[in-house]
Structure 1
Amino acid sequence: MKSNYKPIFTIAIVSITVIVSLFVAYQISGSLFGKSRVIYLADYGGLTVESLKKFELWRLVVSQLIHVHQKHMIYNALSIAFLCSIIERKIGFWYVFFIWLFAGGIGTVFSTQFGTTPWNTGSGASQAALGFAGFGLFLFLFKFKRDYLLLCAVIFSILPAMYLDIKTTGYPKPGHSLSFAFGILMAAYFFFQQFKRSQSIEKS
């Protein structure tokens, strides 16, 4: 990518996440930085299995914008801003969009399987952040081995998230783990496509 490429998707999704999450927090708690109780999040786009059975697919997007704790939202937003801006400059808009949509969406759906109603409402951008972390780690290991800024961004996204998971549940949350693995798979696909393209150029 060109050095002057602007990470438009990163800027947009981080801005929208902050605005929507603060708005929902205010609607639920009366404070921009108040706690948005899980039992109310389904009314604002939180994801449940029942909602998917009704084909409310829009929740796959909106659920990633809302959070229970706004401090957690700020950390997620910073993680995506730091890591996704680097990745988007390297690979462009479409891959980062699909990572955010599918790694985030699938991880959020999976996370709803480990709670009881009404506390099994999926929400938050941490699944997408871990998807980007998996993608970024693969890129660092196999394509951009000396890009230590990318490595720092990956570590910034992974370590605090894993610490909070282990502190609260004793193990990495399944939704986070699945999103991380999905990000790695998407990076492997990206790497394979790059390899095929380089091979075709050499043959031509």
Structure 2
Amino acid sequence: MSQDQQQLWLENSSHKQAPVIRVVRDDLDWSSKLKRDVHLTALNGEKIRRALKKSKLILKNIYISAYPPVDDYEELVSSDYILPQAAKTTVQSAIITIDNVKEDINKVTGLFNEEAHWEIKEEPEEMEVHALKENVLSFDTKKAKEEKSLFTMGKPFFTYVFIALQLAVFFIMEMAGGSQNTENLIRYGAKYNPLILEGEWWRFFTPVVIHIGFLHLLMNTFALYFLGMAVERIFGSARFLFIYIFAGFTGTLASFVFTNSLSAGASGAIFGCFGALLYFGTAYPRIFFRTMGTNILVVIGINLALGFTLPGIDNAGHIGGLAGGALSAAVVHLPRAKRWGIQLGAVILAIAAIPALLWYGYQHGPILFDPSISNAEAQEMLNDGDIEGASAILVDVIEKREADAHSYFLYSIVKIKNEQYNEAETYLNEALVHDRDFSEAHYNLAVLLVERGEEEEARDHAKRAYQLQKDNNQFKELHERLQSKESP
């Protein structure tokens, strides 16, 4: 109802022919006034159509006037008015005049394509009119309070707890060697498939509070602040806690099953918040799309698209978290409302899906050994001067026959540092077998060959290294020095 109590907008989602009805009390002097008002009503109807996410909207527009317009107006009410700009909103109008109520009521009834029975009093008492207005206002106020209460079911508490927890863990990891240090990430509980397979089941949960670098932490903290607050307000703190932990678990589980990369972060749990909001949208679709729905869908779509196109993003974890958030929201449902059928179905699905994914991950998951993780760990040990530690890791990789070119290259560095140059040459050649365009391997091999006096072969490797990386000054210097010694 408008503030002047002269307009009443009604919405009835169960009536497909008349989902929106406008009733207005206004004395229509001229048809031009009626024409302008119909157009403005169509514009407002278009806004409503977009908010309701409808492909088309038919708006019933009923005027109550003391008298009809004095000039020709019949065409304005006898034909539909379709908004020219969009052609998706149609206004169907009718006028009820004081002097011709019964006949005009029949015209209004025709708008709805069904019979209606109206009780018309010639002179309604003022108290009755006042009571009717009060009932309408009371219903409108009650409806608004009910909708508002959906977003105030709980005060954010665990959102702040998880934010504080991930900030604290990040600070501790930075002090202990860095949040981007592979060894540190594994030590503090990042998702690492080999150790999960060895029985460290807690790694399904601990990655949620671990972040790889400040930017990763910053983005996830902001996302958790806004999404976590929304979900905790809608579902309440206890339900939010369950949703967040469950989604974090399912995100890590999906990553374990479908990817072999070392990973960490709250992204899976945050996508679980998206999933919970999508479930809220299934329970209250009109409110969802009127408030946040379109933005939520766009953000989810963009993030998933980036995950499929950019390297280094664990999209399996994102999708697993999204599904887990929706599933856990269905299990607990919304406060003050029960949908036992859906909740029971969600519980059964969770009981069936989680063990199945765990079994598949442990039995038939991705390649169980990823040399890149061990290579990174060995590289960090070499940087720290821990030659023995790096050697132990690389020997393990090579013995498992999972080594790649970088593994052999790093092991050649171990041999060089131990002054075992012949063995270093062997492993450099092995690296080049796996990757002929490994410029650093060509360069190191050229250096070793120069030391042994085999400059002709060294010249070929130095040339190849320079061709692969012409902007590398070391490669350029060695190449030019050996070329200058070449016999004419």
Common fold, TM-score beyond 0.5?
yes
Partner residue, 1:128: 269
| 1:180 is aligned to 2:322 | yes
Q: Deviations over 1:153-186 (max 9, x none)?
A: 7358635533541331499812211211122222
Q: Deviations over 1:126-171 (max 9, x none)?
A: 0000111011122124226325555477358635533541331499
Contact 2:271 2:325 in 1 (8 A): yes
For residue 173 of structure 2, the aligned residue among 20, 24, 28 is: 24
Aligned equivalents of 1:174, 1:92: Cα separation in 2:
28
Aligned equivalents of 1:99, 1:7: Cα separation in 2:
14
Quick one: percent identity of the two aligned structures?
24
Change (3 A) 1:15 1:160: farther
Partner residue, 1:85: 229
Aligned equivalents of 1:176, 1:47: Cα separation in 2:
14
Contact 2:154 2:234 in 1 (8 A): no
Unaligned residue ranges in structure 2 (runs of 5+): 1-148, 342-488
Contact 1:126 1:176 in 2 (8 A): yes
More helix by share: 1
Specify the code of the residue in structure 2 equivalent to 1:186: S
Q: TM-score, normalised by structure 2?
A: 0.34
Q: Which deviates further from its counterpart, 91-100 or 141-150? A: 141-150
| 1:45 is aligned to 2:184 | no
Q: Deviations over 1:39-91 (max 9, x none)?
A: 54111111223433444343333211111132122111211211111211222
Contact 1:135 1:184 in 2 (8 A): yes
More strand by share: 2
Q: Which deviates further from its counterpart, 6-15 or 164-173? A: 164-173
Partner residue, 1:13: 162
| 1:168 is aligned to 2:317 | no
Q: Deviations over 1:108-137 (max 9, x none)?
A: 132134555xxx223110000011101112
Partner residue, 2:357: none
Aligned equivalents of 1:183, 1:189: Cα separation in 2:
10
Partner residue, 1:202: none
Specify the code of the residue in structure 1 equivalent to 2:326: I
Specify the code of the residue in structure 2 equivalent to 1:143: Y
| 1:101 is aligned to 2:245 | yes
Partner residue, 2:300: 158
Q: Which deviates further from its counterpart, 90-99 or 122-131? A: 90-99
Q: Which deviates further from its counterpart, 1-10 or 70-79? A: 1-10
Aligned equivalents of 2:291, 2:222: Cα separation in 1:
15
Aligned equivalents of 1:69, 1:191: Cα separation in 2:
35
Change (3 A) 1:93 1:156: farther
Q: Deviations over 1:93-117 (max 9, x none)?
A: 222112221211121132134555x
Q: Deviations over 1:6-52 (max 9, x none)?
A: 311111011111221233134333xxxxx614454111111223433
Q: TM-score, normalised by structure 1?
A: 0.74
Aligned residues: 189
Contact 1:22 1:70 in 2 (8 A): no
Partner residue, 1:146: 287
Q: Which deviates further from its counterpart, 156-165 or 101-110? A: 156-165
Specify the code of the residue in structure 2 equivalent to 1:42: I
| Cα RMSD for the two superposed structures | 3.2
Change (3 A) 1:52 1:23: same
For residue 74 of structure 1, the aligned residue among 192, 196, 218 is: 218
Partner residue, 1:110: 254
Contact 2:190 2:264 in 1 (8 A): yes
Specify the code of the residue in structure 2 equivalent to 1:145: R
Specify the code of the residue in structure 2 equivalent to 1:166: F
Specify the code of the residue in structure 1 equivalent to 2:164: S
Specify the code of the residue in structure 2 equivalent to 1:167: T
Change (3 A) 1:114 1:60: closer
